[in-house]
């Protein structure tokens, strides 16, 4: 009887191990949300002369899948957050897609096995941004730093010292407007907002979001000991009141 019990126990143990192994193997990609701050390497997209001539700006949201080795295996322009959001300019989309495949992440491990991760990478383009010229000849650190007038900080909500909540406009309340408003901002060397513009969201909610963003405060961003400007986005979520 003991031999039979031991045999059954061993069989059940092997079966449970097999089921667990199959479950891990069947695990699909997990969702990682906004991935900008999780990358080991995040090359900046090129802001070309054509973009600068057209003064193109705005945020480009790229939906990506990260493979088990931490490399990007697929990328495409993400669907707009709201139906009335304008599509980004094709030149900005091309630059974002060219940059995204150069991003590198650490492998994500689930139950001892590496898995794929899906998420979003957001690139913010601004006509004032300039980048060091690669291959333009020798230069020291100070000249390279001088070429960087501002850097991109991605989604900035979690980095603010003060982030006032926007008021819910009466006009928006009357029509039960809701959703996310994305505001592109530029922060100066003192941590103050010097430029804010809504790039997506319900038209009735955008002014309130921009007004709130202008009152946000950040710690100065230092690069090689020198304060620099930083561009990025602040997102605000508006919830409509319940209908009577």
Task: Give residue-wise pLDDT tens across range 30-53.
Answer: 776 788 777 888 888 888 877 777
Highest-confidence range of 28-32, 147-151, 191-195, by mean pLDDT? 191-195
Nearest residue to 118 (alpha-carbon basis) of 200, 44, 62, 179: 62
**pLDDT of 108:** 79
Residue 2's pLDDT is 56
Residue 232 in this model has a pLDDT that exceeds 90: no
Structure tokens at 5: 């019990």
Hey, do 27-127 and 151-244 end up sharing a CATH topology, with the first three levels equal?
yes
Query: Which backbone phi and psi does 125 adopt, to 5 degrees?
Result: -110, 140
Backbone torsions φ then ψ of 15, nearest 5 degrees: -65, -45
Q: What is the pLDDT of residues 114-136, one digit of tens each?
A: 778 888 898 888 765 543 332 23
Task: Find which of 37-46, 80-89, 205-214 is predicted with most confidence, using mean pLDDT.
Answer: 205-214
Domain 27-127 -> CATH class:
alpha beta
CB atoms inside a 10 Å sphere around CB 76: 12
- CA-CA-CA-CA torsion sign (122, 216, 211, 128): negative
Domain map (residue ranges) of the chain: 27-127, 151-244
142 pLDDT band (50/70/90 cuts)? very low
Is residue 64 within 8 Å of 39, Cβ to Cβ?
no
Q: Is the pLDDT of residue 139 over 90?
A: no
Q: What's the CA gap between 103 and 44, in Å, rounded? A: 9
The answer to whether residue 22 scores a pLDDT higher than 50 is no
Question: Could you tell me if 121 and 104 are in contact, meaning their C-beta atoms sit under 8 angstroms apart?
Answer: no
pLDDT at 105 over 60: yes
Q: Structurally, what CATH architecture does the domain formed by 151-244 represent?
A: 2-Layer Sandwich (3.30)
Give the pLDDT score at 210: 95
- pLDDT confidence band for 58 (50 / 70 / 90): confident
Contact between residue 198 and residue 210 where contact means Cβ atoms under 8 Å apart: yes
Reported as a pLDDT band with limits 50, 70 and 90, residue 175 is very high
């Amino acid at each position: 009887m003991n031999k039979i019990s031991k045999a059954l126990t061993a069989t059940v143990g092997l079966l449970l191990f097999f089921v667990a192994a199959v479950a891990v193997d069947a695990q699909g990609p997990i969702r990682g949300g906004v991935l900008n701050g999780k990358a080991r390497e995040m090359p900046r997209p090129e802001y070309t002369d054509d973009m600068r001539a057209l003064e193109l700006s705005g945020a480009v949201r790229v939906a990506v899948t990260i493979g088990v080795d931490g490399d990007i295996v697929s990328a495409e322009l993400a669907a707009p957050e709201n139906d009335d959001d304008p599509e980004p300019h094709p030149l900005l989309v091309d630059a974002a897609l060219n940059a995204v495949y150069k991003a590198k992440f650490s492998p994500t491990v689930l139950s001892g096995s590496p898995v794929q991760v899906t998420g979003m990478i957001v690139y913010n383009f601004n006509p004032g941004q300039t980048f060091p010229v690669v291959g333009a000849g020798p230069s020291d650190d100070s000249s390279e730093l001088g070429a960087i007038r501002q850097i991109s900080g991605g989604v900035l909500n979690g980095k603010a010292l003060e982030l006032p909540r926007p008021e819910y406009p009466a006009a928006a309340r009357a029509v039960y407007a809701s959703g996310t408003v994305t505001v592109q901002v530029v922060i100066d060397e003192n941590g103050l907002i010097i430029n804010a513009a809504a790039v997506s969201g319900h038209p009735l909610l955008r002014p309130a979001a921009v007004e709130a963003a202008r009152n946000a405060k950040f710690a100065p961003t230092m690069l090689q000991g020198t304060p620099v400007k930083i561009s990025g986005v602040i997102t605000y979520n508006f919830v409509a009141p319940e209908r009577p």
